[in-house]
Structure 1
Amino acid sequence: MVSENFSNFDAFLACKNLSKTELLNKVLNSNSVFQYEAARKLQFFQYNEIRDIIKNILLASRYSRHREIAVFILGQIQVQLNDVELNEILSILVYSICHDKSISVKSSAIFSLGHLFRHYNLGEKEFYEIEKDINLIWDINRYSIILAVSFSSAYFPHRNYIKKYLIKNLNSKKSQIISWILYSLREKHYKSKSIELLLINRLNQTNINSHIYNEIIAFLISINSLKVTPYIEKMLLTQNRVDNEIYLELKNNSSKNLTKLRKMMLEKFE
């Protein structure tokens, strides 16, 4: 077993020139740092070169970590997949979401599904074919699942129930979940008064120096929220720097309602 003290760079160097068989050995017999570095290297092989490794070894393993890594690999294979390969991988991911008992495997498969929908620009047709099969994901109240669904929702087609799911989880106490929800809301152009009010309420409960505070401010600017005005004013008057995401969002916003704030910011920080 490799020492847990090894860094990501150590793992990168160790896996850099390994064959697929040697990389498989790292996945099977190393710690998580080496396992995931080996997995990333396996993603640079053609699918038909690693298909047996994925299906007959990793996915067949009794260890959930091996199955988790298998579906992780499938989500970001760097060599372009043909239609047959893509459909096979989609089927594997859906099966893992529905039938694997491990939450970590399910969440990894959901992340990978999102990556495939993004990379291959999949849309209504492909989602319709799996929509009923993955219906269970919206009801699993586990952190890693909510995180994965919040990410992948950015690349699934528009659905009212997805919008409601994202809004419901804006109440999460986990900043990483909030961050991915904001990302998905922006990508899908989901807007509503309830989203605005939830986020304003969240600002009142969040440390002004935290990254999630800045992300919420930037999102509210993107939807031309007037309710965020006093929060931005306070930030501009009391701080010596402004978050880059907020700066760009406000600078590029053309709403007349934000003209005063935009001018104030540019006079102070340009």
Structure 2
Amino acid sequence: AGAGAAPGFGFSFGGDPNANFGFSFGGPGGSGAGGGPGFGGGLDVFEELLGAFMGGRGRGARSSNPFGSAFPGAQQQQRGPPPGAAQEKPVFHEMHLTLEQLYGGTRKKIRVAHQVPNPWTGTAETIKELYQVKIVPGYRSGTKITFKGRSRSVNGMQFRLPPVTITIREKPHAFLSRTGKNGADLLYVCSLTVGQVLAGRTLRIRIPLPSGKSAEVTLKPGDLRAAAAEISMGGAEAGGNPNRKIFVKEKQIAALGMPRSGGLKTTYGSLVVRFEVALSRPAPA
């Protein structure tokens, strides 16, 4: 250049585009000419430029996103629980069944009204859902049956219904109650009169069962002897209780109780028959 000419920058094309790119930007094959700026790779060019323009970080702040330095939010994906991952609170209901229904098993329907938010307006909507409940023979009071949450489409809108837990409740029976391990035995309490015990005769009773059949239990004179002796000795006064009950006899009949649910082979509990006599002190005149 001539004297007094402005300084210039010379560049000659060497025929190799990759070598020229490396010469200019410090890529493979060189770190730049004339002390020019060096960059680690093509994407770093944009990262450095954008970072400088936005007042961001320099080349020390590397990320998998070339625009992460200038726009930090661009490298963050939207996070949150996947659909259905949030634990849904179950809705609880009770189903009251008779001893006969629990003995033989049955199928019942229950309609549950759910209060769920409208996905468009956010207001509460009432969605009624019908559930088919299978009662396995031998279920006890307190048994819980749970239905998973489900989705329902109503008028083109998707509603998410929460899980439903149904608790079985046993209705009181007129003369039978469940006892024994897992409630598999059936207890029948037979109250005798003082006259029946002192007579010392054979007694027979017939007990209706939840299966629809009946069981006959026999009480022989020898079974009454101990209770008769206690009555003759004035058992009521001896105990100091004007309405004390005297135990007479207890008998068990196998396989006439409730079915045991859950096994490969159905087994049954026992029928327990308890005889007692109530002593009452005459009311004062």
Greater RCO between the two (CA within 8 Å, min separation 6)?
2
Which TM-score applies when normalising by structure 2? 0.21
State which structure, 1 or 2, has the greater radius of gyration over its C-alpha atoms.
Answer: 2
